[in-house]
């Protein structure tokens, strides 16, 4: 089964309400999708996280011509071939995002070829339903007093629709963040809450916010510090009891090795559309397990990445194991996203109780080809 053609699809949607976080504000979403097609006509789909037009060039111009004709079922052989071909100048960054999308498409394809789901291919499911948390509460352009109320209302609406866990955004400014952390806990005394600053704080700020999160029983503190300042994480973790999590900006086992060895991170969060793909995510998970910590993916984008993360968590063995295990929560972004909600004819079935692990072959989701044309910005074909 040889790779005969690789298509890339840059898709875009415009958002009715722009959303913001500690770094930026967005009024559109862009994603690069990868389709790998074999000489048997079978194909698989993957997704890349990051700047779609730049990753498209890497996938189309660099990797696609190099893997044509390779055996599509040999996912590790293809991964190593792509990795070594760009190792001298792209050990991390958008080119690794391109590898990730191609690798995800190959896992989907292999599942279709063998009649197995991606979780079957990953070694089997520990669970049929993966518990999830709602990601939302992004900042909007409005006065802070109104914003605070609207964020609390949004969180309460998720709780009413059944979500038992959710994650808020912090990192706007310290006084606002502190009010928000307290207001959320007062409004939702029994909900599992987490906070994500998207690397907005310096160490003294992160300690201050981390201790407030501890006081209000938050479940984890995500990206408190810059990924460039690994030496600060241990100092932060020594001053708080809640787990420090990070990793959505990191890639490959080599990048995560450095992160884990910083000794300041209790949960790592590789994105399967960015860290090197499902092949590399499994290696990262093994590395994490050997250090006594868990890998819980960052999830953004379309149903492809959501499905990949669902399979990954269905097959996750909690480190350390016990009879009544602590849940590993799937990230389920609830912000406006037509590329997640309209582009697919078959989706991952998710509600407040969690995501049902797809059982059909491959990732178990299906693109609506007519919709693909509707969202298309630019597509390429290499054969
Ligand atoms: Mg995050």
Query: What pLDDT digit, counting tens, does each position of 257-268 carry?
Result: 999 999 999 999
Q: Residue 308 pLDDT > 90, yes or no?
A: yes
Q: Residue 277 pLDDT > 90, yes or no?
A: yes
Query: What pLDDT digit, counting tens, does each position of 113-139 carry?
Result: 999 999 999 999 999 999 999 999 999
pLDDT for position 184 = 98
> Above pLDDT 70, what percent of the chain?
100
Query: Which residues have a catalytic role annotated?
Result: 298
Residue spans in the chain of domains classed CATH 3.20.20.120: 120-365
Q: Residue 325 pLDDT > 90, yes or no?
A: no
Say which DSSP state 139 is in. B
Average pLDDT over residues 217-231: 97
Taking CA atoms, 263 is separated from 38, 114, 191, 294, in Å, by 44, 40, 29, 13
Whole-structure pTM value: 0.98
How remote is the CA of residue 222 from the centroid of ligand 1, in Å?
Answer: 6
Query: What pLDDT digit, counting tens, does each position of 22-60 carry?
Result: 999 999 999 999 999 999 999 999 999 999 999 999 999
Report d(CA 93, CA 115) in Å as an integer.
Answer: 33
Which CATH superfamily, name and number, covers 3-115+367-382? Enolase-like, N-terminal domain (3.30.390.10)
Domain 120-365 has CATH 3.20.20.120: yes
The mean pLDDT of the chain is 97
Sequence-ordered list of residues with C-beta below 8 angstroms from that of 48, at least 6 positions apart, any chain:
31, 32, 33, 34, 55, 59, 97, 98, 100, 101, 273, 274
> How do beta strands 244-246 and 354-356 pair?
unpaired
Average pLDDT over residues 74-93: 97
Average pLDDT over residues 228-242: 97
Residue spans in the chain of domains classed CATH 3.30.390.10: 3-115+367-382
């Amino acid at each position: 089964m040889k790779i005969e053609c690789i298509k890339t699809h840059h898709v875009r949607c415009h958002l009715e309400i722009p959303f913001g976080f500690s770094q930026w504000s967005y009024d559109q979403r862009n994603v690069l999708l990868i389709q790998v097609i074999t000489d048997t006509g079978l194909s698989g789909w993957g997704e890349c996280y990051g700047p779609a037009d730049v990753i498209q060039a890497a996938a189309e111009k660099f990797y696609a011509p190099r893997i044509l004709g390779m055996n599509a079922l040999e996912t590790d052989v293809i991964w190593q071939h792509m990795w070594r071909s760009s190792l001298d100048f792209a050990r991390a960054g958008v080119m690794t995002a391109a590898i990730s999308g191609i690798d995800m498409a190959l896992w989907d394809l292999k599942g279709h070829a063998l009649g197995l789901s991606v979780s079957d291919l990953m070694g089997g499911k520990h669970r049929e339903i993966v518990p999830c948390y709602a990601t939302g509460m992004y900042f909007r352009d409005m006065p802070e007093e109104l914003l605070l109320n609207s964020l609390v209302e949004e969180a309460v609406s998720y709780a009413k629709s059944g979500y038992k866990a959710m994650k808020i955004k912090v990192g706007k400014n310290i006084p606002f963040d502190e009010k928000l952390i307290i207001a959320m806990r007062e409004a939702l005394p029994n909900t599992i809450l987490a906070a994500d600053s998207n690397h907005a704080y310096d160490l003294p700020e992160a300690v201050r916010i981390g201790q407030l999160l501890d006081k209000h029983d938050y479940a984890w503190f995500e990206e408190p510090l810059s990924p460039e300042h690994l030496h600060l994480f241990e100092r932060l973790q020594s001053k708080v009891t809640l787990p420090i999590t990070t990793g959505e900006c990191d890639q490959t086992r080599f990048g995560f090795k450095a992160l884990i060895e910083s000794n300041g991170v209790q949960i790592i969060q590789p994105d399967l559309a960015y860290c090197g793909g499902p092949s590399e995510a499994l290696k990262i998970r093994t590395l994490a397990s050997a250090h006594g910590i868990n890998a819980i993916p960052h999830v953004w984008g379309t149903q492809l990445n959501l499905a990949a993360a669902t399979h990954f968590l269905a097959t996750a063995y909690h480190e350390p194991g016990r009879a009544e295990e602590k849940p590993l929560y799937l990230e389920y972004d609830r912000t406006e996203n037509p590329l997640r909600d309209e582009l697919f004819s078959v989706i991952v079935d998710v509600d407040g109780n969690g995501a049902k692990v797809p059982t059909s072959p491959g990732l178990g989701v299906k693109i609506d080809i007519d919709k693909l044309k509707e969202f298309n910005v630019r597509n390429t074909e290499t054969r």
